[in-house]
Amino acid sequence: MSEKNLADAVSKRRTFAIISHPDAGKTTITEQLLLFGGVVREAGTVKARKSGNFAKSDWMEIEQKRGISVTSSVMQFNYQGKRINILDTPGHEDFSEDTYRTLMAVDSAVMVIDSAKGIEPQTKKLFQICKMRGIPIFTFMNKLDRDGRDPMDLIAELEDVLGIEGYPMNWPIGMGKELKGLYDRYHQRVALFRPEDEEHRYLPLNDDGDLVEPNAIQDDDWYRDARDNMELIGEAGNQFDEAKIASGDQTPVFFGSALANFGVQTFLETYLQYAPEPASHHTEEDTDVAPTDSEFSGFVFKIQANMNPNHRDRIAFVRICSGEFDRGMDVIQERTGKKLRLSNVTEFMADTRETVETAVAGDIIGLYDTGNFQIGDAIYTGKSKIKFEKLPQFTPELFVRVAAKNVMKQKSFHKGINQLVQEGAVQLYTSYSTGDYILGAVGQLQFEVFQFRMQNEYNSEVIMEPMGKKTARWINPDQLDERMSSSRNLLVKDSHDEPLFLFENQFAERWFKDKYPDVELTSKL
């Protein structure tokens, strides 16, 4: 591909994740987006897969049980000349560190909020990672067809709870049964909800914010309320600021209903206008790798195991950071210095896994892997070695004690545990006092996958004893005294031999802080 063609292709990529709390409407909105992209023809396709009706013969058992599919991990479609990659961030029990790491591979995020509930815990956690990366975040306040909270409250909550300015792009005219439409100040029009005739779906507004042509809606109280609120915000609220949007300090807010397909298309089109192209990636040598660099580079942000139990293959998900991928190309794996040929590669569509021929910076490819890759691995072509900045570590919340069922099989147990920990499947801790192995995760699924893979790949049956939720806090080794440990704050070390406490709960942490006011406790992300 010529330099110009590469730059063209890269500039069309938009790669993002949808972050939300379970049930806010992520699946429904994703489906609408895929419908616009012409990838699925019927609503319900993604849903069916989610509920497990979409069984494919080659999923691993856990995948089948849970209906998780590699095909829905990345969805790709074209819209208005742009190539869109949506990366899935699973919720519910499927939540795992991979969910967090996926956010390392996107250039922007869409935050879906249930307008009756406001900001919920999982959204908050995912938001924090986006915030740390300083990527643009676009907000969709969903379920407007139901009675929800006051829009002004919802906007204020963004600032109060998340610390991000909200800029309403439109304002609901009514809500629930009273939903009449959206007062869209950005596009200077009113969008009617369920208009009598399609031709009059949009009513233009003049520069003063009044309807250009008289319409019955202007006598509606909800309309006047929406217009007044928009005017008020226009005068006293946050001003639309592209630089702040780009740095993740302001989020444009769109109201709508994913289920009623109201406001979604406007959202998508406006989003595409502001969503950033693929960004540069920083290296440990303090240089930047630009997406338009002609040499190929990328990093592994997620590994999904055992797609096919007969072959025990895994898929390593790679975010391309620069250049172009060509089928069969040779790359260097930074960690080992090994040369690898990328021939068995897959690209992701909503319905099928298709073999990919070419892909460019911004795209995601899936490499069939027989155990070569670890999370965070960089691959590249060219003479200069590329080592991307390390992926961050996350603070696990769930813990189990783990041991080999058969004491005679310690060797395979240790081999398996070491490899899976290196790969980033779970985190491993060792108790100071007893030497017990403790696994940490952000989601229950990680333990199940661990157990399954230990059995299937390392022939090691493990016993896991749940310890429940704990608060993990790292302590400066110089300040550590082993006598600080108690049953309510278990002292362990992580896989880098750094000490930390697992606090029973917040009270235990507070009690500790009161007792040892000079001791510094830190968390990871």
Q: Is 257 or 346 the residue whose CB approaches ligand GDP more closely?
A: 257
- Listed in order, strand segments (DSSP E) in 185-244 are 189-192, 202-204
Note whether 330 and 381 are within 8 A (CB): yes
Q: Which stretch binds ligand GDP (CB under 6 A): 137-145, 376-384, 429-437, 493-501?
A: 137-145
Q: Is 120 in the site for ligand GDP (CB under 6 A)?
A: no
Residue whose entry in the numeric block shows the structure tokens 């419908």:
35
Q: Is 98 or 145 the residue whose CB approaches ligand GDP more closely?
A: 145
* Rg, Å, the chain Cα set: 25
Q: Is 66 in the site for ligand GDP (CB under 6 A)?
A: no
Residue 42: CB minimum distance to ligand GDP, A: 15
**Tokens standing for residue 31:** 């489906």
Q: Is 177 or 496 the residue whose CB approaches ligand GDP more closely?
A: 177
**Tokens standing for residue 217:** 């809606």
In 3D space, the residue among 355, 364, 300, 425 whose CA is nearest the CA of residue 87 turns out to be 364
Q: Is 141 in the site for ligand GDP (CB under 6 A)?
A: no
Q: Is 19 or 105 the residue whose CB approaches ligand GDP more closely?
A: 19
Q: Residue 157: phi, psi to the nearest 5?
A: -65, -30
Residue whose entry in the numeric block shows the structure tokens 């990838």:
39
Note whether 342 and 317 are within 8 A (CB): no
Is 91 annotated in a binding site? The answer is yes
Q: Is 22 in the site for ligand GDP (CB under 6 A)?
A: yes
Quick check: helix, strand or coil at residue 227?
A: helix
For residue 69, what are the β-bridge partners? none
Compute the Cα dihedral for 353, 43, 254, 197 and give only its sign.
Answer: positive
Is 308 annotated in a binding site? The answer is no
For residue 140, what are the β-bridge partners? 112, 254
Residue 30: CB minimum distance to ligand GDP, A: 7
Q: Is 489 in the site for ligand GDP (CB under 6 A)?
A: no
Q: Is 15 in the site for ligand GDP (CB under 6 A)?
A: no
Is 22 annotated in a binding site? The answer is yes
Q: Is 121 or 517 the residue whose CB approaches ligand GDP more closely?
A: 121
Is 143 annotated in a binding site? The answer is yes
Is 221 annotated in a binding site? The answer is no
In 3D space, the residue among 202, 18, 205 whose CA is nearest the CA of residue 113 turns out to be 18
Note whether 307 and 336 are within 8 A (CB): no
Q: Is 142 in the site for ligand GDP (CB under 6 A)?
A: yes
Q: Is 193 or 296 the residue whose CB approaches ligand GDP more closely?
A: 193
Is 281 annotated in a binding site? The answer is no
Q: Is 22 or 67 the residue whose CB approaches ligand GDP more closely?
A: 22
Residues 6+ apart with CB under 8 A from 203: 189, 190, 192, 211, 212, 213, 215, 217
Q: Which stretch binds ligand GDP (CB under 6 A): 20-28, 193-201, 337-345, 425-433?
A: 20-28
Is 142 annotated in a binding site? The answer is yes
Q: Compute CA distances 519 → 492, 505, 522, whole Å.
A: 16, 18, 10
Q: Is 412 exposed, middle or buried (0-12, 13-18, 19+ CB in 10 A)?
A: middle
With CB under 6 A as the contact rule, the residue among 24, 39, 205, 318 that binds ligand GDP is 24
CA distance 228 to 208: 12
With CB under 6 A as the contact rule, the residue among 145, 165, 334, 369 that binds ligand GDP is 145
Is 90 annotated in a binding site? The answer is yes
In 3D space, the residue among 50, 76, 75 whose CA is nearest the CA of residue 63 turns out to be 50
Contacts (CB under 6 A) with ligand GDP, residues 239-298: 257-260
Residue 350: CB minimum distance to ligand GDP, A: 15
Is 92 annotated in a binding site? The answer is yes
With CB under 6 A as the contact rule, the residue among 28, 45, 76, 346 that binds ligand GDP is 28
Q: Is 67 in the site for ligand GDP (CB under 6 A)?
A: no
Is 23 annotated in a binding site? The answer is yes
Count residues near ligand GDP (CB under 6 A).
Answer: 17
Q: Is 193 or 388 the residue whose CB approaches ligand GDP more closely?
A: 193
Is 24 annotated in a binding site? The answer is yes
Q: 3-state secondary structure string, 418-431?
A: HHHHHHCCCEEEEE
Note whether 445 and 93 are within 8 A (CB): yes
Q: Is 154 in the site for ligand GDP (CB under 6 A)?
A: no
With CB under 6 A as the contact rule, the residue among 20, 45, 170, 292 that binds ligand GDP is 20
Contacts (CB under 6 A) with ligand GDP, residues 69-108: 91
Q: Is 179 or 365 the residue whose CB approaches ligand GDP more closely?
A: 179
Q: Which stretch binds ligand GDP (CB under 6 A): 138-146, 153-161, 442-450, 453-461?
A: 138-146
3-state helix, strand, coil in the chain (%, to 5): 30, 30, 40
Note whether 18 and 109 are within 8 A (CB): yes
- Residue ranges of the annotated binding site for GTP are 20-27, 88-92, 142-145
Q: Under the rule (CB under 6 A), what is the footprint of ligand GDP?
A: 20, 22-28, 91, 142-143, 145-146, 257-260
Annotated binding residues, written as ranges, equal: 20-27, 88-92, 142-145
